[in-house]
């Protein structure tokens, strides 16, 4: 039986998962919406991956998690590796593009830039304050224009005179979009302008003060938008590399880290049938008043975190909370 490794990247908007073999080849993968419930999202992800997985040929021996809900899902999946998004994306990218110098990543609600020198991360920055440079911004504007966000890119490429859209923040951009539409700007020009606005916002905020060097690899859900790719190439005067699996790079990276970690634990897809619940508990043990997050597996406490001192440590024998 050949060994396989599972990587899960769970964010606020989307949940990504891959299963790779020892040579980092993808055996199974999927990308779906988190829908505000990371545990249910992962269960749906596992159901999809299981259908693609060849159980008679491979066995999953290690699991890695990354993303905003990495700790929670790491507990649920009994992961051997739990890493932040910067590390996961850097490992995934440098594995397939060892000469990369700059990584652009734009997701549903946040974006980041990672600078690499000789395969080592030397600097990075993240933007989580303004949504104007993210996928959720484009999705909301697509609805406003009565079209699917997947159609944004191809339509943007037909524009010969992109509309100048204010990119300082979501509120300004939305009001400016309405104003420009009322003035009679063509839809393709407005869409191209929105793609440029995303890039302008990203370069002025996320990568401000950073030295952008080629090769540049662009990833995250927004990297599938050819209009944004073109806007990045025009702004940076550089070729932008987009991997076919750019939307899965965080999951790929953490799966590779799980493989390299050497620690192995048996994994079963039956975990998707187990009931998991979470509970927030206020600790009044000291002046910190920490909110402790408790995770239950079939009503049994399996982990907790959030305490800043030992007074807030919750042991299984102390568990009196009904979920």
Q: Give residue limits of the domains in the chain.
A: 2-90+251-273, 98-242, 276-318
Determine the average pLDDT of the residues in 148-177.
83
Confidence of residue 261 (pLDDT cuts 50, 70, 90): very high
pLDDT of residue 205: 83
Q: How far is CA 37 from CA 56, 149, 308, in A?
A: 31, 23, 26
The yes-or-no answer to whether 2-90+251-273 and 98-242 have a common fold is yes
Q: Contact at 8 Å (CB) between 182 and 206?
A: no
Whether residue 109 is predicted with pLDDT greater than 80 in this model: the reply is: no
User: Per the structure block, which two tokens stand in for 218?
Assistant: 């662009």
**CA–CA gap between residue 214 and residue 254 (Å, rounded):** 24
**CATH class of the domain at 2-90+251-273:** alpha beta
User: Per the structure block, which two tokens stand in for 246?
Assistant: 């750019």
Q: Which residue has the tokens 């998690």?
A: 65
Selected residue with higher pLDDT from 19 and 131: 19
pTM, entire model: 0.85
Q: What are φ and ψ of residue 56, in 5° steps?
A: -80, -5
pLDDT of residue 132: 59
Count of all residues that appear for the chain in the document: 323
Q: Which residue has the tokens 């030992």?
A: 310
Confidence of residue 27 (pLDDT cuts 50, 70, 90): very high
Q: For residue 207, how many C-alpha atoms fall within 13 Å in the half-sphere facing its CB?
A: 22
**CA–CA gap between residue 232 and residue 206 (Å, rounded):** 14
Q: Which residue has the tokens 């051997």?
A: 80
Selected residue with higher pLDDT from 100 and 109: 100
* CATH fold of 98-242: Nucleotidyltransferase; domain 5 (3.30.420)
Confidence of residue 317 (pLDDT cuts 50, 70, 90): very low
pLDDT of residue 321: 36
Q: Which residues contact 39 (CB under 8 A, 6 or more apart)?
A: 72, 73, 76, 276, 278
Whether residue 314 is predicted with pLDDT greater than 90 in this model: the reply is: no
Determine the average pLDDT of the residues in 57-85.
95
Cis (ω within 30 of 0) for the bond into 281? no
> Can you give 144-162 as a three-state secondary structure string?
HCCCCHHHHHHHHHCCCCC
Q: Which residue has the tokens 């899902």?
A: 73
pLDDT of residue 308: 80
Q: What are φ and ψ of residue 126, in 5° steps?
A: -130, 150
Determine the average pLDDT of the residues in 164-169.
74
**CA–CA gap between residue 40 and residue 32 (Å, rounded):** 11
Q: Which residue has the tokens 């073109």?
A: 230
**CA–CA gap between residue 139 and residue 198 (Å, rounded):** 12
Q: How far is CA 154 from CA 4, 50, 197, 224, in A?
A: 37, 34, 17, 11
Strand partners, 5: 20, 62
**CA–CA gap between residue 254 and residue 260 (Å, rounded):** 10
């Amino acid at each position: 039986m050949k060994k396989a490794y599972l990587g899960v990247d769970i964010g606020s908007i989307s949940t990504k998962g891959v299963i790779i073999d020892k040579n980092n080849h993808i055996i199974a993968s999927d990308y779906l919406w988190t829908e505000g419930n990371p545990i249910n999202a992962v269960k749906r992800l596992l159901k999809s991956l299981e259908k693609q997985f060849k159980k008679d040929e491979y066995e999953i021996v290690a699991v890695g998690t990354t993303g905003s809900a990495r700790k929670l899902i790491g507990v649920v999946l009994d992961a051997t590796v739990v890493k932040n998004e910067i590390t996961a994306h850097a490992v995934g990218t440098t594995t397939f593009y060892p000469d990369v110098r700059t990584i652009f990543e734009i997701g549903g609600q946040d974006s980041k830039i990672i600078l690499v020198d000789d395969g080592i991360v030397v600097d990075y920055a993240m933007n989580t304050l303004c949504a104007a440079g993210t996928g959720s911004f484009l999705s909301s504007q697509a609805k406003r224009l009565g079209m699917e966000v997947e159609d944004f890119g191809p339509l943007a490429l037909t524009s010969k005179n992109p509309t100048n859209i204010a990119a300082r923040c979501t509120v300004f951009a939305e009001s400016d979009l309405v104003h420009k539409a009322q003035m009679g700007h063509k839809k393709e020009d407005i869409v191209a302008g929105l793609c440029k606005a995303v890039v302008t916002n990203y370069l002025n905020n996320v990568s401000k003060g950073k030295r952008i060097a080629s090769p540049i690899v662009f990833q995250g859900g927004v990297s599938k938008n050819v209009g944004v790719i073109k806007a990045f190439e025009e702004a940076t005067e550089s070729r932008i590399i987009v991997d076919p699996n750019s939307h899965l790079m965080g999951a790929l990276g953490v799966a590779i880290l799980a493989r390299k970690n050497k620690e192995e634990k048996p994994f079963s897809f039956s975990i998707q049938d187990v009931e998991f619940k979470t509970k927030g508990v206020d600790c009044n043990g000291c002046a910190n008043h920490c909110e402790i997050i408790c995770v239950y597996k079939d009503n049994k406490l399996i982990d907790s975190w959030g305490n800043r001192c030992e007074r807030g440590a919750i042991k299984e024998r102390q568990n009196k909370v009904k979920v």
